[in-house]
Chain A
Amino acid sequence: MATDSGHGADVAGGGHAFDPMHQFEIQRILPLNIGGLDVSFTNSALFMVIIVVLVTLFTAASMGSRALVPGRMQSMAELSYEFVANMIRENAGTEGMKFFPFVFTLFMFILFANMLGMIPYAFTVTSHIIVTFVLALVVFVGVTIVGFAKHGIGFLKLFAPAGAPIVLMPLLIVIELISYLTRPVSLSVRLFANMLAGHTMLKVFASFVVMLGFVGGWLPLAAMVAFTGLEFLVAFLQAYVFAILTCIYLNDALHMH
C-alpha cells in the first residue's frame, strides 16, 4: 500500500517557501526493495501502524476493567460501540450486525487517521487517493460478494427496478449499472478530496499569517482558528459518511432496495 512514492512529490513546484503540497509528500523511512518492488517503510506506513496501535489500545485497554459502572475511558469505548451499532441497525437492519466488526474497524481507522492528521507535522494517511481507494474497493467487492452469496443470480435484479415500464428497462439497467460501478470512485474521492482540500486550505491560510507578519497577521490567524475547528468537524464527518454509506450499500446487498 505504501509503494507509491512521489504522489505529492510531483505536485511540489520547486523550492517554494510555503509549498502547501509539501505536507503530502511520502518519505522513505526504511528503504526496502524486494524483487524490483519498492516496499519501503514510509511515513504513510508508519502512521498506519500508529493508528492501528492507538485504536487497539483505545478499545482493548479501556475495556480491560469491564466495570459495571464504566469509567471515563470505558464510557468512550462504549459510546463508540453504541454509535456504530446504532448506525448499522438503523441503516442495514439487525441482519447487518453480522458485519459490525468490519464497519467498526473501518470507522475507527478513518476517524483516527483524519484526527491524527490534524496534529501539526503529522502525516494524513487518508489524503492519498490510493489509500482511500483501496478502502472503498474492499467495501465494494465485499458488498458485491455478500449480495451474490445471499441472493445468488437474483442479485442482478438490483439493476432492474421493479415496477418500471419495460420500454425504459434497457436505459434504466445501464444507468443503475453505472451508478453501482462508480460507487468505489465516489466513496474514495469524497474522503481523499476533503482531506486534501482541507489541509491545503489550512496551509495556505497559515502562510498568509506568516507573510502579513505581526501587524496584519491577526485576521488570517482568527480565520485559521475557525477553519481548524471546521476541519475537526469534517474529519469526524467524513469518517461517519464513509461508514454510513458502507451500511447503506450493505443494506442494498442484504435486502435488495
Chain B
Amino acid sequence: MEAEAAKFIGAGIACIALAGAGLGIGTIFGNYLSAALRNPSAAQSQFPNLLLGFALAEATGLFGLVVALILLFVV
C-alpha cells in the first residue's frame, strides 16, 4: 500500500473519535433534561455544569480531528 493511501485511511479512522464525542454529548444533555424535568427548580443552578460537561465531551472528539489533520497535512 502506498504511504499516501495509508495516510488517508488513518485520517478516516481518526474520525471514529466523533462517535465517542456524540455519545458523551448525548449522555450529558439527556441526563440534564431528565433531571431538569424531575426537579425543575434545581435545573437553573446546574446549567453552568451542563455547559462545562458539554465542552469537555466535545473536546475529546476534536482531539480526534486534530489527529486526522496532523495525518493529512503534517506527517
User: Chain B residues with Cβ under 8 A from A237's Cβ?
Assistant: 51, 54-55
* A87 CA to B52 CA, complexed, in Å: 12
A-B contact count (CB 8 A): 36
Interface stretch of the complex, out of B2-10, B30-38, B61-69 = B61-69
Q: A10-B73, A11-B73 are in contact. Are A241 and B63 (CB under 8 A)?
A: no
Task: Describe A's contact surface by its main secondary structure.
Answer: helix
Q: By the criterion CB–CB under 8 Å, are B55 and A190 in contact?
A: yes
Q: By the criterion CB–CB under 8 Å, are A193 and B66 in contact?
A: yes
Q: By the criterion CB–CB under 8 Å, are B73 and A241 in contact?
A: no
* A131 CA to B2 CA, complexed, in Å: 35
Residue from B55, B63, B74 with most neighbouring chain A CB atoms (10 Å): B55
* A186 CA to B73 CA, complexed, in Å: 21
A44: interface (CB < 8 Å): no
* A197 CA to B63 CA, complexed, in Å: 10
A193: contacting residue among B51, B52, B65, B74, CB under 8 A: B65
User: Number of A residues whose C-beta is below 8 Å from B?
Assistant: 15
Q: By the criterion CB–CB under 8 Å, are B52 and A244 in contact?
A: yes
A240: interface (CB < 8 Å): yes
User: Chain A residues with Cβ under 8 A from B52's Cβ?
Assistant: 240-241, 244
> What's the minimum C-beta distance from A228 to chain B, rounded to whole angstroms?
17
**Which residues of chain B from 35 to 53 have a CB within 8 Å of any chain A CB?**
48, 51-52
* A11 CA to B74 CA, complexed, in Å: 8
User: Chain B residues with Cβ under 8 A from A244's Cβ?
Assistant: 48, 52
**Which residues of chain A from 194 to 212 have a CB within 8 Å of any chain B CB?**
194, 196-197
> What's the minimum C-beta distance from A12 to chain B, rounded to whole angstroms?
9
User: Chain B residues with Cβ under 8 A from A240's Cβ?
Assistant: 51-52, 55
Chain B residue with Cβ nearest A236: B51
Q: A10-B73, A11-B73, A241-B56 are in contact. Are A194 and B62 (CB under 8 A)?
A: yes
7 interchain pairs, CB-CB under 8 A: A10-B73, A87-B48, A189-B63, A190-B55, A193-B63, A194-B62, A241-B52
